[in-house]
Each structure stands twice: as C-alpha cells, then as structure tokens.
Amino acid sequence: MAEKKKIVWITGASSGIGKALATEFVKNGIYVVGTARRIDLLEKVKHDLSSYPGIFEPYKLDVTDNTSVDNFFRKISQDSFVECLINNAGVTSFKQASENSFEEIREIIEVNLLGSIYATQKVLPQMIENKSGAIINILSAVTQKVFTESSAYSASKNGLHAYAKVLREELRDKNVRVINISPGATVTEIWSNKVISKHSDKMMKTEDIAKVVYQVYSGNSNLVVEEIVLRPVTGDL
C-alpha cells in the first residue's frame, strides 16, 4: 500500500495569523491543508501560494460543526497523515463580561476551546499509533496576564492552555509534541480598524509570528519548545 503523505492541518487559514502560517509553511515546501468557513479567501490563498515549493489545499470547514469535522478528517485520512495540527481558528468580542450576550460567549468557547479540542481528538489516534506528530495551539497573551473586555476569550484560551498542558504529559512517551504559542497584539482583522490605525506601528506582524512557529515546528531533535510568549517590543497595547 502506498505510504500516506504527511500534511500540516491549519485551522482558520483564510486570514490573519493562519494565512501567514500557511504561507510560511508552503514556502518551506510543506503540504498544508488549510480550513476555514470563507472558502473564497482560502481559494485566494491557494492561488497566491501556487508558485511556492509546498502545496496549499483549501477546505471549507466550520470547526464548531462536529459532523463536518468528522467528514473532513475521514476524507483527508484516506491518503494523508496529519503530522501537525495547528489550532489557530479563533474569535473574540472585546466587551465587558456584563455586556456579552450568551450567544457571543457560546461562539467564543465553541470555536476557540471546543473546536480546538475536537480537532485534536481527531488527529491524536494516528499520531499516537505512529509515535510522531505535533499539536500547536495559537493561544494568546491572556494566558500570561489579565486583559479586561476578554472574559470569555480568556476562559477559552486558558481552558485550551490547561487542556494542552495535561495532554502534553499524557503524550510524553508517544513522541507527540504539544507546543503552545501565546502572542500579544498582532495586526489582523480580529482587531477593529480604529485599534489598528492607532497602534499598528507597535503591533506584531503575522509574518513574524509565522516564522517563529515554523522554526519551532521544524526543529528536528528530541527537544520540544513547550511554551512561547510573543509580545511587541514596546509591550502590550
């Protein structure tokens, strides 16, 4: 039987950090399957990356829809082994806890926490069986510090942080690396235009985050970079 191709699955690859990650990985010759809801943007990423050595394969997927995630994973598993999952899809709302609707809170938890856990559960059995793989979680500086107007977001990212730390211990003898990246303010559409126009000079760039993640992913030894905090040199906004 033909050997399965090794791929990197990046969630939320249609914009921002996810798109930059896809670009960096494909530039480095990696086969990336990028998922998100906005398939038109994913198709554009594919087009833009077509001259690079790797491959970008777009797939429309809402990480909160478990049935779709099951179908997606079954399909890609036929001929591929996900050697790295990057849980990047994420949303927030920048509101005080008292002003958040329950629907907003539910969406934040479902995308950032449950969506990431569900994707992780999909890739784990193959990684454990193969005794190789990496799970990279794009967390946030909220894992390091309290930020107001981020209560549900902080709950989701700190929840995923806690989950990932336990998972890492459980996988110690399985050669599966669990890597948590906690970035501070980065220029993407998660922020309002007002914030970006005021602070873009000091905010980090998606390409710079992506370079760090690729470096950590591509290290080929028996060490794992477990936690990384990335901040603008001038500090938080």
Minimum CB separation of residue 17 from ligand NAP in Å reads 4
User: 40: which residues sit within 8 A by CB, 6+ positions away?
Assistant: none
- Restricting to residues 102-131, which ones interact with ligand NAP according to CB under 6 A? 111
Query: Which part of the chain contacts ligand NAP (CB under 6 A), choosing from 69-77, 118-126, 180-188, 219-227?
Result: 180-188
Please identify, using beta-carbon distances, which residue of 4 and 37 lies nearer to ligand NAP: 37
Task: Determine whether 153 is an active site residue.
Answer: yes
Within the chain, where are the H helices?
A: 16-27, 39-48, 66-77, 102-108, 116-130, 151-170, 193-199, 206-218
- Is 100 an interacting residue with respect to ligand NAP (CB under 6 A)? no
Cα–Cα distance, 139 to 157 (Å, whole number): 6
Residue 63 contacts ligand NAP per CB under 6 A: yes
End-to-end Cα spacing for the chain? 53
152 binds ligand NAP (CB under 6 A): no
With binding defined as CB under 6 A, does residue 227 bind ligand NAP? no
Q: Which of residues 196-225 bind ligand NAP (CB under 6 A)?
A: none
Q: Which residues contact 146 (CB under 8 A, 6 or more apart)?
A: 154
Q: What's the burial of 103, exposed, middle or buried (CB within 10 Å: 0-12/13-18/19+)?
A: exposed
Query: Which residues are known to be catalytic?
Result: 153
Residues that bind ligand NAP (CB under 6 A): 11-12, 14-18, 36-38, 41, 62-64, 88-91, 111, 138, 140, 183, 185-186, 188-190
